[in-house]
């Protein structure tokens, strides 16, 4: 397999259990050596301490010393990383994940979701250039997942490269610029969501459709009809407001307008089921 994650880009890593997602992450971090080829991390060999110090990592499985406070866990990891991070920045990392008021509380009393927030703070505290997140929202409630999405968006805006491994396909669709799909240790597909999901459709329920209205629909794309239900394969999704306005002007009664596109989940299943 071969893929890249650019600065200011969020790349989602998808695939079934055993596809090789965690192995890829371990190779990136220098924890596992590839059988062949090379892995470059920020322009350096994977495992190079200088490159590794510029990477933030949230593993899927993590354990923190229950007798330490949240602030002490962050300080410990800062010390282990060898990167200088002042106390103010450490406090900011906890506040960014919603643990600012729990900084002095012992980790042993944290729920799994709170521990996951702490893991995010540890991953982000040194302001890394690349952030690798392995199932970052698996233990979080809807509010926590929204917070993580906001964090990922802010990382993108700062020019940070983000590699996101998640089974929550809806989360990947919301935040990722590109998706890499693995299957049985190989790259099965990759691309932007638009490239992977392909065409967009517009489904409409219309009445009093005459030849002029049919011609207007056809001008927007390929049209299929079943009674009062029309499906238009759009060449350009931006035409929808003008299309609907034109149909109304032609005397068409518009009962419903529903943009549609194949879901990432369905596309993933289609790719994995290909012989």
Q: 111 exposed, middle or buried (CB, 10 Å; 0-12, 13-18, 19+)?
A: exposed
pLDDT tens for 122-174 read 999 988 999 999 888 877 888 888 888 888 888 899 899 999 998 878 888 88
3-state secondary structure of 29: coil
Percent share of the chain, pLDDT over 70? 98
Q: With contact defined as beta carbons under 8 Å apart, do 228 and 206 qualify? A: yes
Q: What is the per-residue DSSP string for 78-105?
A: HHHHT----HHHHHHHHHHTT-GGGTTS
Domains of the chain and CATH, by start: 10-195 (3.40.50.300), 198-266 (3.30.70.980)
Q: With contact defined as beta carbons under 8 Å apart, do 16 and 8 qualify? A: no
When the pLDDT of each residue in the chain is averaged and rounded to a whole number, the result is 88
Rounded mean pLDDT, 255-275: 80
pTM over 0.95: no
Taking CA atoms, 22 is separated from 2, 34, 57, in Å, by: 15, 13, 12
pLDDT tens for 76-93 read 999 888 888 899 999 999
Spatial distance between the Cα atoms of 130 and 159, rounded to a whole number of angstroms: 9
């Amino acid at each position: 397999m071969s893929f890249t994650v650019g600065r200011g880009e969020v790349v989602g890593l998808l695939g079934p259990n055993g596809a090789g997602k965690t192995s890829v992450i371990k190779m990136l971090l220098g924890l596992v050596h590839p059988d062949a080829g090379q892995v470059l991390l920020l322009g350096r060999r994977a495992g190079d301490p200088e490159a590794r110090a510029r990477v933030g990592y949230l593993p899927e499985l993590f354990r923190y010393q229950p007798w330490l406070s949240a602030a002490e866990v962050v300080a410990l990891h800062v010390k282990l990383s060898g990167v200088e991070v002042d106390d103010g920045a450490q406090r900011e990392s906890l506040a960014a994940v919603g643990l600012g008021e729990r900084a002095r509380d012992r980790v042993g009393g944290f729920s799994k979701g709170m521990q996951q927030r702490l893991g995010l703070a540890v991953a982000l505290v040194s302001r890394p250039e690349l952030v690798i997140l392995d199932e970052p929202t698996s233990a979080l409630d809807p509010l926590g997942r929204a917070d993580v999405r906001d964090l990922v968006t802010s990382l993108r805006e700062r020019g940070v490269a983000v590699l996101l491994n998640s089974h929550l396909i809806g989360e990947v669709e919301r935040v990722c610029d590109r998706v890499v799909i693995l299957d049985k240790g190989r790259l099965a597909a990759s691309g932007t969501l638009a490239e992977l999901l392909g065409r967009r459709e517009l489904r409409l329920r219309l009445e009093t459709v005459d030849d002029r209205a049919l011609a207007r629909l056809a001008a927007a794309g390929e049209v299929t009809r079943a009674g009062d239900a029309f499906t238009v394969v759009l060449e350009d999704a931006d035409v929808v407001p003008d299309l609907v306005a034109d149909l109304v002007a032609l005397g068409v009664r518009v009962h419903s307008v529903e943009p549609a596109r194949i879901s990432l989940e369905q596309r993933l299943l289609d790719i994995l089921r290909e012989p």
